[in-house]
Amino acid sequence: MPHLSPSRIQDHACRVVFNRECGHGLKLLRLQVQSGAQFACQPGQFVMLDLPESRFHFRRPFSVLDTPTTDTFDLYYKQVGVGTGIMWDLQPGDTLNCLGPLGIGFTSPTSPETALYIGGGIGIAPLYLLAKHQAIAGHCFYGVRGQSEIGLEAELQAVFGDKLHIATDNGSYGFHGNVCQLLETQAQTVSAAQEAYVCGPMRMMQATVELLHRM
C-alpha cells in the first residue's frame, strides 16, 4: 500500500456531491470537505456522521469506502431505520458534519496476491478500499442475501477481476449459500492465504474466523 499521511481528526463540514442508489435499499453517498482541507483516510478507518436533524443526539459510524479525490470520500450504506432513512433523502448540495477519520485502520497484507477479503453486506466497504490500495489484489469472497443487494459489483470487479467470488443466500446469483459455505468450496485458495480480512455482521465474522482456523 502506498504511504498515506492520515488526516488530522476534524469535524468536517461536508457537502453532498451525490447520493446514488446502487441496489435494493443501498446507496453510495459522496461527500466533499468544504474547508478545502484534504481528507486522507487509511483503509479500515471510519467517520461519525452528524445527521442534519436536531432530534438525533448521537452520530452514526460509517466505514469509508473510497477517497476518489483529496477532498472527497464515499460512504456505502443500507437503509435500515429512521436515521438512514434521513440519509436516503439527502440531495446534492445538502450539508452535514462528519467527524473523522477515526480508528487505526488495517495493516497492509505482506502477501497481497494471496490475501483473502471476506465481506458480508455493507461490510465490504473497508475491504474494497484496502484491496484498491494494493498493486495486486487477492481473492474477495462476498456474501449477500440476494442479487439485488450486490450494490458494488462493478467496483469490485474492477479491483478483483476473476478473483471476485459472490454468494447469495437465496441462490439468485453466484454461489447458492452463505460466504462460509463458499469458502469451503475454495479450500486450496484459502489454505494458500497468509492473511484474511473479515468485515460484516458479527455472527458472520465469528463463523468465518472459526472456519478459517479449521481450514
82-110 exposure pattern, b = at least 16 Cβ within 10 A, e = fewer: ebbebbbebeeeeebbbbbbebebbebbe
pTM of the model: 0.91
Average pLDDT value for the chain: 92
What mean pLDDT do residues 198-215 have?
Answer: 95
Residue-wise pLDDT tens digits, 15-73: 999 999 999 999 999 999 998 888 989 999 999 999 877 777 788 999 999 999 999 99
What mean pLDDT do residues 114-134 have?
Answer: 96
What mean pLDDT do residues 169-189 have?
Answer: 97
What mean pLDDT do residues 135-163 have?
Answer: 94
Distance from C-alpha of 23 to C-alpha of 29, rounded to nearest angstrom: 13
Give the model's pLDDT for residue 2: 41
Give the model's pLDDT for residue 9: 80
Distance from C-alpha of 112 to C-alpha of 195, rounded to nearest angstrom: 8
Give the model's pLDDT for residue 1: 41
β strands within the chain, DSSP E: 10-23, 26-33, 46-50, 60-69, 72-78, 95-102, 116-120, 139-144, 164-168, 175-176, 196-199
